[in-house]
Amino acid sequence: MKQIVLFCMMTLSMSLHAQKYMTKTGTVDFTSKAPLETIEGKNKAVGCLLDSKTGTIDFIVQIKSFVFDKKLMQEHFNENYMESDKFPKASFKGQITNLSAIQFSKDGEYKADVKGKLTIHGVTKDVSYSGKIIVRSGKLILASSFSVLLADYNIAIPGAVKDKVAKEVKINVQVSLDQMN
């Protein structure tokens, strides 16, 4: 009987400390500002999983879920640039490097530094970014903005549209995570 009670207490203790948060409805948008055109795409089908005990964080983005104002832009994005049939997902797998500075059980806004591997268009690069984690009533909001060079991920810009597509795009990420039970 003592062993059962001890096991139950250990299990409860571990579940209280190992807090995982997730969403399947985060947002990633990007902006390409070139001399002749600004292109914006928005994706509201972003998955994210965060383990507050270890600082492990994973994002997954379905490329075909990006939406554009013009249908033709969406078609070119998927077929000519991102080749979304061949490379259907982008992902980030990493670690919060300043985990001790974030109090997941206390409401507030905290700077978060992450380091990991960003995969876009089948190319994986080591990256480091900063963002923020807002803790509010047991929910987490993660937000970050950063830029990527298309050439780093083997995304070619044809000469005919070089003044319409920026070589560097700005990416904004915002996800609201709920605690997993």
CATH number, position 138 = 2.40.128.110
For the chain, percent of residues with pLDDT exceeding 70 = 90
Is residue 119 included in any domain, yes or no? yes
Could you count the other beta carbons within 10 Å of the beta carbon of residue 97? 15
Predicted local confidence at residue 160, as pLDDT = 83
Give the pLDDT mean for 122-129: 98
pLDDT per position as a tens digit, 81-112: 999 999 999 999 999 999 999 999 999 999 99
In a domain, 114, yes or no: yes
Which range (32-36, 118-122, 156-160) has the least confidence? 156-160
**Which position has the higher pLDDT, 17 or 174?**
174
For the ranges 72-76, 105-109, 128-132, the lowest mean pLDDT is seen at 72-76
For residue 123, the cross-strand partners are 120
Residue 62 lies in a domain: yes
**Which residues touch 91 (CB under 8 Å, ≥6 apart)?**
58, 59, 60, 61, 118, 119
Q: What is the mean pLDDT of residues 163-176?
A: 95
Average pLDDT for the chain: 90
Q: Which residues are paired to 133 by β-bridges?
A: 110, 142
Question: By residue range, what is the domain housing residue 110?
Answer: 19-179
For the chain, what is the domain count? 1
In a domain, 117, yes or no: yes
Q: How many residues belong to the chain?
A: 181
Answer whether residue 13 is part of any domain: no
Q: Is the pLDDT of residue 1 over 60?
A: no
Residue 3 lies in a domain: no
Query: pLDDT-derived band of residue 44, with 50, 70 and 90 as boundaries?
Result: very high
Q: How far from chain centre, in Å, is Cα 113?
A: 13
Residue 161 domain flag: yes
Three state DSSP letters for the chain: CHHHHHHHHHHHHHHHHCCEEEEEEEEEEEEEECCCCEEEEEEEEEEEEEECCCCEEEEEEEHHHCECCCHHHHHHHHHHHCCCCCCCEEEEEEEECCHHHCCCCCCEEEEEEEEEEEEECCEEEEEEEEEEEEEECCEEEEEEEEEEEHHHHCCCCCHHHCCCCCCEEEEEEEEEEEECC
Question: Is residue 111 domain-resident?
Answer: yes
Cβ neighbours, 10 Å, residue 128: 12
